[in-house]
Amino acid sequence: MSGALLVAGTTSDAGKSVVTAGICRWLWRQGVRVAPFKAQNMSLNSFVTADGAEIGRAQAMQAQAAGVEPEAAMNPVLLKPGAGGRSQVVLMGRAVAEVGALDYRDRKPVLLERSLECLADLRSRFDVVVCEGAGSPAEINLRDRDIANMGLASAARLPVVVVGDIDRGGVFASMFGTLALLSADDQSLVAGWFVNKFRGDARLLAPGLEMLRELTGRPVLGTFPMLEGLWLDAEDSLDLASVAARPAAGGPVGAEVLRVAVVRFPRLSNFTDVDALAQEPGVLVRWATRPEELADADLVVLPGTRATVADLDWLRGRGLVEPLRRRVAAGLPVLGVCGGYQMLGREIVDEVESGSGAVDGLGLLPTRVVFGAEKVLARPTGVALGERVAGYEIHHGVVTVEGGGAFVTDGAGDALDGCRVGPVWGTTWHGVLENDAFRRRFLAAVADAAGRAFVPAPDTSFAAAREQQLDALGDLVAEHADTDALWKLIENGAPAGLPFVPPGAPAPVEMEGSK
């Protein structure tokens, strides 16, 4: 059996995903065959593997860091929250149920067994498997059915390192408290700490690290400095604030910049579709929830959503529909992707996702959408605007085009799924803007329609920019982690004799109505 490690975190967004990716990249550089793994992921940011399975985009990113093709076994359970407090359960890449929180809780023993099978399979094929936890390992109300944190670590006897975000404050208390709320058996697997997002003088931090070691009996295995401008695939919209704060990719090549407003739906999904735009010099990307935030935009993007009908209602309730209509009447560009594309049509018939039946769309494209029970998962390729295009599809809504034109502006042959009428474009394909040549042609068309003297940069490579980000994470681990200690944990597991920190896990309280 190969070596393995679980990266947990004191909170959501503490840095588990990026630390896991950094360890994967560090190992891959040394010629180690490494794979990422996350037993259970709750995310609306997903990806389609080469064989048509849906997994979290964070695991796809980590697979790229590890130099391997992503696969369903790397994220066997994916939860996609929707409207009404219910979530879609995706098991081994396929949607199998829509459940509430209590319904899902009853499924967890079976899902843990399936997750352990996947972990064992990966460990049989790779030298190292780097696992990522979910949320916090000290969710004391959920421990008895946990499959992603200490439940997984205990069943597979994985050593655990815990990441804490010092930029939020309270990192020492959160680390100590996390350990002190675990049972003696769970504590025996927690072998060390990572301090993430550190700014300032390391000399001031050093006494605190030593005190933490004395209090817990576990060393700090690395202090990672704040990495500015990080934009790698996030699991949820907690990371969107950092998107708006990213430094510009560079000044414009032409005389003017291009302003892009992306509507931030409540159940926003696959928001990474706009990452490639943010990497273009002279393109300013901002999230929008108010009418005035669309006013000076040269392009408005309606991105994907897990709840098309509910988020369409939100769009109307926020007063965003009339600004969109005024844009279109003025010839200013609007792009809809997947759920956003569905909203642009004349009618949506949904008996699957929302159960709302027939609902009027925005009427900006001559399309009709009918939701099917089977989810469409695909990795299509084609030609659009005279350029090769590859993308991926994740949707229940099937769009029928009843007029208009294809997704082109210059009469070139087109195989990109979608529709266009005047300044309004729509497509079911995610990831199309990651195709460099196509993106440049599309942005040039947008600039022309918006009357901007904007010129796309001729040499921007989104794939190269992503690799640079992954390399930066590998550098972070190589330069700021105790890699010798990390190797020992991977090869030998948690050391024996780690001290117990009281009080430990409280006695479980029986849930009302449970048996």
Residue 483 and residue 424 in one domain = no
Residue 54 and residue 102 in one domain = yes
Say if 168 falls within a structural domain.
Answer: yes
Residue 312 and residue 366 in one domain = yes
**What is the signed CA dihedral for 199, 204, 205, 209, rounded to 10 degrees?**
170
Say if 508 falls within a structural domain.
Answer: no
DSSP for 249-289, please give it.
S---SSSS-EEEEEE--TTEE-GGGGHHHHTSTTEEEEEE-
DSSP H stretches of helix in 404-461: 436-450
CATH of residue 143's domain is 3.40.50.300
Identified catalytic residue from 338, 396, 419, 480: 338
Say if 499 falls within a structural domain.
Answer: no
pLDDT band of residue 249 (cuts 50, 70, 90) is: low
CATH of residue 375's domain is 3.40.50.880
Say if 236 falls within a structural domain.
Answer: no
Q: Is pLDDT at 245 greater than 60 in this prediction?
A: no
Q: What is the pLDDT of residues 442-487, one digit of tens each?
A: 999 999 999 999 999 999 999 999 999 999 999 999 999 999 999 9
Question: What is the average pLDDT across 385-407?
Answer: 89
pLDDT for the residue 510: 63
Residue 126 and residue 36 in one domain = yes
How far is the first Cα of the chain from the last one, in angstroms, to the nearest whole number? 38
Question: What is the average pLDDT across 64-70?
Answer: 98
User: Does residue 395 have an active-site annotation?
Assistant: no
Question: What is the average pLDDT across 165-192?
Answer: 97
Q: How many CB atoms lie within 10 A of CB 27?
A: 27
Q: How many CB atoms lie within 10 A of CB 510?
A: 7
Q: How many CA atoms lie within 13 A of 71 on its CB side?
A: 11
Q: Is pLDDT at 251 greater than 90 in this prediction?
A: no
Q: What is the pLDDT of residues 102-161, one digit of tens each?
A: 778 888 889 999 999 999 999 999 999 999 999 999 999 999 999 999 999 999 999 999
Say if 513 falls within a structural domain.
Answer: no
pLDDT for the residue 235: 59
pLDDT for the residue 433: 96
**What is the signed CA dihedral for 379, 43, 29, 226, rounded to 10 degrees?**
130
Identified catalytic residue from 24, 395, 419, 430: 430
136: which strand partners? none
Say if 240 falls within a structural domain.
Answer: no
Sign of CA dihedral 195, 197, 202, 207: negative
Give residue 277's Cα distance to chain centre: 17
- Domain count for the chain, please give it: 2
Q: Is pLDDT at 515 greater than 50 in this prediction?
A: no
Mean pLDDT over all residues of the chain? 92
Question: What is the average pLDDT across 372-401?
Answer: 93
Q: How many CA atoms lie within 13 A of 383 on its CB side?
A: 7
DSSP letter assigned to residue 127: S
Q: Average the pLDDT over each of 207-216, 316-325, 396-405 and give the range with the smallest value.
A: 396-405
Q: What is the pLDDT of residues 293-332, one digit of tens each?
A: 999 999 999 999 999 999 999 999 999 999 999 999 999 9
Global pTM reads: 0.92
Residue 360 and residue 476 in one domain = no
Residue 224 and residue 84 in one domain = yes
Q: Is pLDDT at 277 greater than 80 in this prediction?
A: yes
Residue 336 and residue 383 in one domain = yes
Residue 429 and residue 483 in one domain = no
Q: What is the pLDDT of residues 195-207, one digit of tens each?
A: 999 998 999 999 9
Residue 108 and residue 255 in one domain = no
Print the domain residue range for 350. 250-459
Say if 440 falls within a structural domain.
Answer: yes
Q: Is pLDDT at 248 greater than 60 in this prediction?
A: no
Q: Is pLDDT at 411 greater than 90 in this prediction?
A: no
Residue 31 and residue 111 in one domain = yes
Ranked by mean pLDDT, the top range of 23-27, 306-310, 507-511 is 23-27
Percent of the chain surpassing pLDDT 70: 94
Residue 111 and residue 180 in one domain = yes
422 Cβ partners below 8 Å, 6+ apart?
328, 331
Diameter over CA atoms, the chain: 71
Q: What is the pLDDT of residues 31-56, one digit of tens each?
A: 999 999 999 999 989 999 999 999 99
User: Does residue 430 have an active-site annotation?
Assistant: yes
Residue 263 and residue 118 in one domain = no
Q: Average the pLDDT over each of 89-98, 199-208, 413-422, 478-487 and give the range with the smallest value.
A: 413-422
Q: Average the pLDDT over each of 123-132, 224-233, 358-367 and give the range with the smallest value.
A: 224-233
pLDDT for the residue 416: 83
Distances (CA, A) of 313 to 42, 140, 305, 310, 361: 24, 36, 12, 5, 10
Question: What is the average pLDDT across 86-105?
Answer: 88
Sign of CA dihedral 95, 99, 101, 106: negative
Say if 412 falls within a structural domain.
Answer: yes
The rounded distance, in Å, linking the Cα atoms of 77 and 54 is 10
Question: What is the average pLDDT across 378-390?
Answer: 91
Distances (CA, A) of 86 to 79, 90, 267, 308, 354: 10, 13, 12, 14, 11
